[in-house]
A and B are shown apart, each in its own frame.
Chain A
């Protein structure tokens, strides 16, 4: 094999290093055996380099490929979908290492490496992940640089330096392309994330099951208010409205469950100034959005459902940003249609008989809805109900009865569910609302961070003349839950984030950890609002602001112009460094003379000395032979002989005049 075809040892080292750093961000979502395959492949390749083993032959390679595909099939049950595809890619990458014998194989591997870097963004666009991917790009580039330094047998960091410089130099281009390169829609779609990756709320509620949701420290969404942040006890982020109770499960009404003439909610009258805020929510793989009570959004693609919640027809697969206006005091649906009345009073036949009886007993006293609500809440606060995150499970049959008259231990879902059933039994239209309550105010940038453990469920009760009114039965049992949040409410129990020992949220008591956490969160918010949420629409708006009218020609012009601007500093630097200015006057004069002759067709070769050039030029342009000879003589005196300064000045003058006369 020619030396140019060989892979230098240094390049191999960087290649294998890149292999593992490329694998690192994918670790949480690939089976552990993929790591083992990578390790073995790297080891094998190293043994090949040391000459102990040989490259695998084709039957072995075929067996390895089949085993890899089979392993993916066994681990994921199918090959279609994002995770299995990425795992397959990583296995293929590891096996390809075993095939890298020549430089061209290394090219294939490293260009595949850039693609592997890209796949990470399909899962997360977190700031730290982006930094890690940048490091990976640098590392892959380093391997590429090292590949072109043959004979570098000792490990050296020099390729890393070059690669870092190259990546940093391309950063301005990257920024330009990010802002103006047209966002092309996908040419095809694959079923992206599998459902197992979903965290957050589901669109149904079974209070009998133990909730896992309330304990996760992940961020559900972040909110930036334009003005003052309302008090925490007013922050009820509505997400889902559940009006239907069937077989112990609460569920929402779909768009088509609502009669056609009622699919748009009656617009309430709003007089006071709205709360304005923007929300950036983490992907949920669902369609509903979170907002404070009576919310409207001017963004395109956000709709209002009949029960005054916001939703988006497209599943939220990436970080999604939207702006909202809310009127918390607005009266919602002061007139209830017969269908709505029926729906919000419906109870399953023959279930929870003791609760029904209690409801009717509560209603017997008066017709006033407010009084009934007060009495029910008094019931919760006076009798021995407990707020806990670890309630006993309830029987599937008559779960509300079992809760109200039996266990009396539960969290928000239990209380909301029981309260709504009680209200409906008492003849008051009521429904469950699921969403988040409260949030943490980040003092760094004044955003409200809502975590998954802020998930909450409460009730809405319809009262004549006032419309839908929010009632939170949990606050009657555990006022701390609403005032101070979940952590305070379960402080005595010790169940807050009990299964997440590493979450920084657990260590909020330690001042510097909390500071770092909040600062990083503020940085994340900025990252999300500037970069992640910069989609095709916002790009179009930006371009329209700049260009007025967006046409392909103008976009092309802007791209080229911006590229030129981004490259300008590099060009200036290159020119600056070129030591043209370091040339002595006689050198510059001589080069001018060469340029003149070049225009007459006699170009000086790089390696041509003045004397031989002069002879050639004199032959080519005989009429100038004399001036050529004298200029060359002067130049040779000036450049190579150490003449006294006075003579040098005279020679310089003579040469200058000769060059000027040369025509």
Chain B
């Protein structure tokens, strides 16, 4: 159907502001279609925030942005109850979390206490303040950006919180051609981002999510998935393997990826396409192993046979 074209045009629309990052944009869309939260990790100034803005525009979502700083408090995100002297009652003033798309900028610059305030919102789609539970809007996404952990002034996200992000993306430096185009556009009049249009309506988003649910995963594919998962748990290079939640995340993203490529069944390439983004931040190398999560994913992908047990 036109689904693939729809997605292609959405990618192209985002590409107007974020040049030369098509794979990351596709993965980011895949993450949002899979009802997952997205973590973008890179150095400052690489276009993390730009990507968020663009995604929000293209999907036509209401969005709010919170800049995380070291003195940010949970109430600053969730909202506070304010005493109203006129009628002697408390009224709740919702925080920025009550939106469809929350951009949590530089999430690892704030304290763990504030980070964990996001936990319930991300996991349950609801927020509890003063003992009262309030639901968040239906499509609720968190796109968080973080600076690499080794930079100063950062609190690394704990594994439990990392696990709640479906994917983690790196943007990386743009290639020279894209960068040149960016420079040229800078000289052109007007701000490019304001020209972004909504490409995918809320109804279409719901339709995509519906299609994802119908995607089939054959026994052969589930075997391959299980071999992958088992390898991370048994091989000595891995200190921490993939949890069942991680395995489910992998399968769900692969299903979305299949839908995005006009298929009603998952093939191994789908798993392999989403594997680095889904698995790398969940895997911890053992003390003997020199590489990081990405190297582990490469090792995993290289060593697990797709066909043969």
Contacts and interface: CB of A to CB of B under 8 A. Distances in A.
A273 interface: no
B286 interface: yes
Contacts of B308: 583, 587, 591
B306 A609 contact: yes
B303 A606 contact: yes
B218 A607 contact: no
A303 B264 CA distance: 93
Contact of A607 (B267, B287, B304): B304
Contacts of A3: 286-288
A605 B272 CA distance: 14
**Chain B's interface: helix, strand, loop or mixed, by majority?**
loop
A591 B307 contact: yes
Given A2-B287, A3-B286, A591-B308, A639 B269 contact: no
A607 B306 CA distance: 6
A213 to B, nearest CB: 63
Contacts of A639: 218, 220-221
B265 interface: yes
B201 interface: no
Interface in A133-152: 150
A440 B264 CA distance: 87
A582 B309 contact: yes
A636 B268 CA distance: 9
Given A609-B269, A611-B267, A640-B266, A590 B304 contact: no
A606 B266 contact: no
B307 A587 contact: yes
A594 B302 CA distance: 17
Interface string B266-292: 111100100000000000001110000
Given A4-B288, A606-B306, A607-B306, A642 B269 contact: no
Contacts of B218: 639-642
A607 B269 contact: no
Q: With a 10 A CB-CB cut-off, give which of A594, A607, A636 has the most chain B CB atoms.
A: A607
A583 B307 CA distance: 9
Contacts of B116: none
A609 B306 CA distance: 6
A3 B236 CA distance: 12
A608 B220 contact: no
B276 to A, nearest CB: 13
A582 B308 CA distance: 10
Nearest to B263: A641
B267 A640 contact: yes
A636 B286 CA distance: 36
Interface in B209-237: 216, 218, 220-221, 236
Describe A's contact surface by its main secondary structure. Answer: helix
Contact of B220 (A2, A4, A587, A611): A587
B305 interface: yes
A611 B287 contact: no
B221 A640 contact: yes
A579 interface: yes
B198 interface: no
Contacts of B265: 640-642
Nearest to B308: A591
Specify which of A591, A606, A609 lies most central, judged by the most chain B CB atoms within 10 Å of its CB: A609
Interface in A566-599: 579, 582-584, 587, 590-591, 594
A610 interface: yes
A150 B304 CA distance: 23
B301 interface: yes
A415 to B, nearest CB: 78
Contacts of A612: 269, 272
A608 B300 CA distance: 12
B25 to A, nearest CB: 21
Given A587-B220, A587-B307, A641-B264, A611 B288 contact: no
Contacts of B288: 2-4
Contacts of A583: 308
Given A3-B288, A4-B288, A612-B269, A590 B220 contact: no
A425 B301 CA distance: 103
Contacts of B307: 587, 590-591, 594, 610
Given A3-B288, A587-B220, A641-B216, A606 B267 contact: no
7 contacts: A150-B236, A605-B302, A607-B301, A607-B303, A610-B306, A640-B220, A641-B216
